[in-house]
Structure 1
Amino acid sequence: MPVTIRVNGTVGSLVHKMSSGITTATIPDVCKTPSPGGPVPVPYPNIAQSITLTNGTTTVKGDKVMAANKGSKFALSNGDNAGVAGGVKSSTFMKEATWILYSFDVKMDGKNAARFMDKMFHNSENAANLAGILQSVVKDLGLDADEEAMANKLCEEFCKDLAKGHVKGPRGGWSRDSSSSGNWSYELESRLSNPQSSAAREIQKLGGLITQQFTRSYGVLIPDVVLAVGTDAAGVPIVKRCFDFKFPGDRWRKTQKLRQQKLANGNKPVKINAKNCDC
């Protein structure tokens, strides 16, 4: 899920349950490990992920899910699995990662918000990550609040369909599943133009029009989705920004990008793809 909330800075993204945050201990997790001669201390790596976030916010959400704040934790860690006799300090293994640093002036549910690059303890304070948690930064696509809300919703729906017929490689890239076929952009547009779809209704509330809806009404070929701000004297929607779905293998065609920019009065179109959406 893309992270859309900044905390203290241009790239200081909020950590939440779906922010794909990963923290890796830079100080080894030294745990007592069974051996024929008795337990011996062995240094282990230790990794925890934001998907295991617990004790976070309950009334305030970050991108619609629980956000990390002071007192929250990543409930599970891995890497020290063999150190079953426990850490030399904590006497535990595979336990939680907790916050060393957090924002001092931004609070959520009355507690300090946790951010990209904040430092963490690991395995019940038996180790620590002094380099800070890593996750996606907030992308700046030059959009205003309305356009950003539209992009976020389209990304949410795009990532759902991407996962249906594509596989994510070890380096993060996506490729089409050998068993899948079809026009993914068209199928997504069809789903989002269905008036019975809750996603379609939400996009409409945000001011969005899907290509298929627009072309049926006005006979004009336009991008996959547009954000409209009212209509002109002829009743044709005035386009503020164009959004185009780009599944793996798809790219801008010749003058497509320029035509979309012209349609939106000079505003550059937004590519809705796996990279921009952090799928």
Structure 2
Amino acid sequence: LYAAGSLSAVDQDVRVARRASDDLFGAMLDTLTYRAQSLVPNVSAATLRASGSLYPEPIRDRYLSLPDDAPTRVLSLARDLTATAPTPYDRARAITNYLRAFSYTLDLPAPPRNRDVVDYFLFDLQKGYCDYYATAMVVLARAAGLPARLVVGYASGAYDAAHARYVVTAADAHSWPEVYFAGVGWIEFEPTPARSPFDYAGDVRPQPTTAPLTPSMFPRADLIRRIAVLLLGALMLGLLLSGLWFASEPLRLRRLPAVARARAIYARLLAHASRLDV
């Protein structure tokens, strides 16, 4: 199931996967058409700067951890990039800006064997595509004390003004990091230079008022399928009964007396002639 932001409601039954009660990381359903309602971050830089560093214990345990053998110079780089940043938001921005100075390319050699990929990207390669940038920022952010996670999905695609919709294709596949802010939640950042950065510097955007999304608001896909099956079954039954009616016509005629049988056949011929304008 694909949706913008954090999924909050769907118009039909879904199967969800969670790391914790408030940590949804996947949802699946059996249909191709659905309506979903999401929560999209609507915060300003001032709000993010004021969020502080008091993270819930499950967030600290899962999203600040790094491998014991993380390269020392990667950890040192994270500290150097964020040493003068006064808030978690400023630390995240400093890491983002550093990575966006690298070059974007899809033409890359395979990473060396037995080499830490983030270390190789940051100090040798210094170019790449979204997976490299997102992974590097997650590692640097965690090393700087910021809970971070990797997100894989799709960018917003191209806007189709004629139909007021976004068209997203396989070419929009993308990965990016999210950083957790206390009292706010997960916020996206864009370290990949080929994509426009997220801008949280402005004021909070006004939110439209919408009714809650419930299954009764939209036709359920399984209900539509059931109605279609019932209609098709009714049509097939009608055709079957019509066939049986015409197939039994000779038997009914044979049971009539000769004069009545002749009159019935003559009436049938007149009816056909009338429909054919004969």
Higher-helix-fraction structure:
2
How would you bin the TM-score normalised by the shorter chain?
under 0.3
**TM-score under structure 1 normalisation?**
0.20
Rg larger in structure:
2
TM-score, normalised to structure 2, is: 0.20
Q: Larger strand proportion, structure 1 or 2?
A: 1
